[in-house]
Structure 1
Amino acid sequence: MKEDYLDIKTPEYVAIQFQIAGLGSRAAAFIIDQALLMLVNILSIVVLYFVMVGMEPLPVFLSHSSFPVAIVIIGLFIINWGYFFFFEFFSGGRTLGKKIVGIRVIQENGHSITLLASFIRNLIRLIDSLPTAYFLGIIMIFFHPKHKRLGDLVAGTIVVHERKAKKKKLTPIEKEINLRGLSQNNLLLDEWTLKSFTSKDWKLVSTYANRFTQLPLKERNQLTKQIADILLPKTGLDSAGKTERELEDMILIIYLILKDEWEFEL
Structure 2
Amino acid sequence: MNEDRISIKTPEYVSLQFQVAGLGSRTAAYIIDQLILMAFNIAIVVIFLIITYGQPDILIFLDLHSYLIAIIIIGIFFINWGYFFAFEYFSGGRTPGKRAMGIRVIQENGHSITLLSSFIRNLLRIIDSLPTGYFLGIIMIFFHSKHKRIGDLVAGSIVVHERKTNRKNKLSAIEKEIQTRGLSKNDLIIDEWSLKSIKMKDWKLIQTYCNRFLQLPKNDRDELTKQIAAILFPKLGIEQEDEELENKLLIVYLILKDEWEFEL
Query: Could you say which TM-score interval applies, normalised by the shorter chain?
Result: 0.5 to 0.7
- 2:229 aligned residue: none
Of 197, 215, 218, 1:189 maps to 218
Tell me which residue corresponds to 2:105.
105
Q: Is the 8 A contact 2:140 2:147 kept in 1?
A: yes
Could you tell me which residue of structure 2 aligns to residue 163 of structure 1?
A: 163
Could you report, residue by residue, the CA deviation over 1:214-247 in whole angstroms, capped at 9, with x for unpaired residues? xxxxxxxxxxxxxxxxxxxxxxxxxxxxxxxxxx
For residues 1-266 of structure 1, what are the structure 2 equivalents within 5 Å?
3-54=3-54, 65-167=65-167, 189-191=218-220
Give the 3-state SS of the residue equivalent to 1:94 in structure 2: coil
118 and 11 in structure 1: CA distance in 2 versus 1, 3 angstrom threshold = closer
Q: Is the 8 A contact 2:2 2:21 kept in 1?
A: no
Q: Deviations over 1:18-65 (max 9, x none)?
A: 00000000000000000000001111111111111049xxxxxxx971
Q: Residue 69 of structure 1: SS of its match in structure 2?
A: helix
Q: CA deviation at 1:164?
A: 2.5
- After superposing on structure 2, the runs of 4+ consecutive aligned residues of structure 1 that deviate more than 3 Å are 168-171
Q: Tell me which of the two structures has the higher relative contact order, counting C-alpha pairs closer than 8 angstroms and 6 or more residues apart.
A: 2
For residues 70 and 189 of structure 1, the distance between their equivalents in structure 2, rounded to whole angstroms, comes to 66
Relative to structure 1, is the Cα distance of residues 97 and 190 closer, same or farther in structure 2, using a 3 angstrom cutoff?
Answer: same
1:8 CA drift (Å): 0.9
Q: Secondary structure at the match of 1:151?
A: helix
TM-score when normalising by structure 1: 0.60
2:201 maps to: none
Q: In 2 relative to 1, CA 170–104 (structure 1 residues): closer, same or farther, beyond 3 Å? A: closer
Larger radius of gyration: 1
* 1:170 CA displacement: 7.7
Secondary structure, aligned partner of 1:35: helix
What letter is aligned with 2:219?
D
Structure 2 contact 2–19 (Cα < 8 Å) conserved = no
1:2–1:91 Cα change, 3 Å: closer
Contact 2:137–2:149 (Cα < 8 Å) also in 1? yes
In structure 1, C-alpha distance between the alignment counterparts of 2:16 and 2:154, rounded to whole Å: 23
CA contact (8 A) 2:128 2:136 kept: yes
Take 1:2 and 1:97, find their aligned partners in 2: how far apart are those partners? 18
Identify unmatched segments of 5+ residues in structure 1: 56-62, 195-266
Label 1:190 to 1:144 Cα distance change in 2 as closer, same or farther (>3 A). Answer: same
Query: How far did 1:169 drift?
Result: 5.5
Amino acid at match of 1:119: F
What secondary structure is seen at the aligned counterpart in 2 of 1:17?
Answer: strand
Q: Is the 8 A contact 2:102 2:162 kept in 1?
A: yes
Following superposition, the deviation at residue 105 of structure 1 comes to 0.2
Cα–Cα, structure 1 residues 165 and 12, in superposed 2: closer, same or farther, change >3 Å?
farther
Identity %: 64
1:45/1:17 Cα in 2 relative to 1: closer, same or farther (>3 Å)?
A: same
Q: State the secondary structure of the residue aligned to 1:190.
A: helix
> Within 1, Cα distance between the matches of 2:2 and 2:122?
29
Alpha carbons 2:2, 2:22 under 8 Å: kept: no
* Distance (Å, rounded) in 2 between the aligned partners of 1:24 and 1:102: 12
**CA drift at 1:166:** 5.0
CA distance in 2, matches of 1:191, 1:140: 54
Aligned residues: 178
Q: Take 1:23 and 1:157, find their aligned partners in 2: how far apart are those partners?
A: 16
